Amino acid sequence: MIQTVLGKIEKEAFGICAAHEHLSIDLSRIKGDPDTILDDEEGMLSELSFFYEAEGRSMVELTNAGMGRDVNRLKRLSEKTGVHIVTCTGFYKDPFIPTFAASWGRDEFAAHFLTEIKEGIEGTGVYPGVIGEVGTSINEIKPLEKELILGAGHAARESGLPVSTHTSLGTLGSKQVEMLFGLGVAKEQIVIGHQDLNPNKEEVLDVLQSGVYIGFDTIGKNNYRADEERIAFLLDFIARGFHKQVLLSADLTRKSHWHKHGGPGYDLVLKEFIPELRKRGVTEEIIKDLLIYNPANAFAIKEVG
Specify whether the CB–CB gap between 155 and 113 falls below 8 A. Answer: yes
In a domain, 76, yes or no: yes
In a domain, 305, yes or no: no
Specify whether the CB–CB gap between 203 and 175 falls below 8 A. Answer: no
Specify whether the CB–CB gap between 255 and 38 falls below 8 A. Answer: yes
Note the pLDDT of residue 233.
Answer: 98
Indicate whether 304 pLDDT > 90.
no
What's the structural domain count of the chain? 1
pLDDT digits (tens, 9 = 90+) for 14-69: 999 999 999 999 999 888 889 999 999 999 999 999 999 999 999 999 999 999 99
pLDDT digits (tens, 9 = 90+) for 223-243: 999 999 999 999 999 999 999
C-alpha distance across the termini of the chain, in Å: 17
CATH of the domain at 294: 3.20.20.140
Structural domain that includes position 197: 2-299
Indicate whether 305 pLDDT > 90.
no
In a domain, 201, yes or no: yes
Specify whether the CB–CB gap between 220 and 197 falls below 8 A. Answer: no
pLDDT digits (tens, 9 = 90+) for 264-295: 999 999 999 999 999 999 999 999 999 999 99
Note the pLDDT of residue 204.
Answer: 98
Q: Quick check: bond before 95 cis, omega within 30? A: yes
C-alpha to C-alpha distance for 181 and 167, rounded to whole angstroms: 17
pLDDT digits (tens, 9 = 90+) for 137-191: 999 999 999 999 999 999 999 999 999 999 999 999 999 999 999 999 999 999 9
Task: Please name the residues in contact with 228: beta carbons below 8 A apart, sequence gap of 6 or more.
Answer: none
Is the full-model pTM beyond 0.85? yes
In a domain, 89, yes or no: yes
pLDDT digits (tens, 9 = 90+) for 72-128: 999 999 999 999 999 999 999 999 999 999 999 999 999 999 999 999 999 999 999
Note the pLDDT of residue 30.
Answer: 87
* 38 bridge partner residues: 25
- Taking CA atoms, 148 is separated from 81, 96, 189, 234, 304, in Å, by 33, 12, 17, 30, 21
Total residue count of the chain as it appears in this document: 305
Q: What is the mean pLDDT of residues 210-216?
A: 98
Q: What is the mean pLDDT of residues 201-213?
A: 98
* 21 bridge partner residues: 61
Please name the amino acid found at residue 14.
F
In a domain, 304, yes or no: no
The rounded percent of the chain whose pLDDT value lies above 70 is: 100
C-alpha to C-alpha distance for 195 and 175, rounded to whole angstroms: 13
Q: What is the DSSP string of the chain?
A: -EEETTEEE-GGG--SEEEEE-SSEE-HHHH--GGGEE--HHHHHHHHHHHHHTT--EEEE---TTTT--HHHHHHHHHHH--EEE-EE----TTTS-GGGTT--HHHHHHHHHHHHHH-STTSS---SEEEEEEEBTTB--HHHHHHHHHHHHHHHHH---EEEEEGGGTTHHHHHHHHHHTT--GGGEEE--GGG---HHHHHHHHHTT-EEEE--TT-TTTS-HHHHHHHHHHHHHTT-GGGEEE-----SGGGSGGGTS--TTHIIIIIHHHHHHTT--HHHHHIIIIIHHHHHHSPPP--
Note the pLDDT of residue 63.
Answer: 98
Note the pLDDT of residue 32.
Answer: 86
In a domain, 218, yes or no: yes
In a domain, 129, yes or no: yes
In a domain, 186, yes or no: yes
Note the pLDDT of residue 132.
Answer: 96
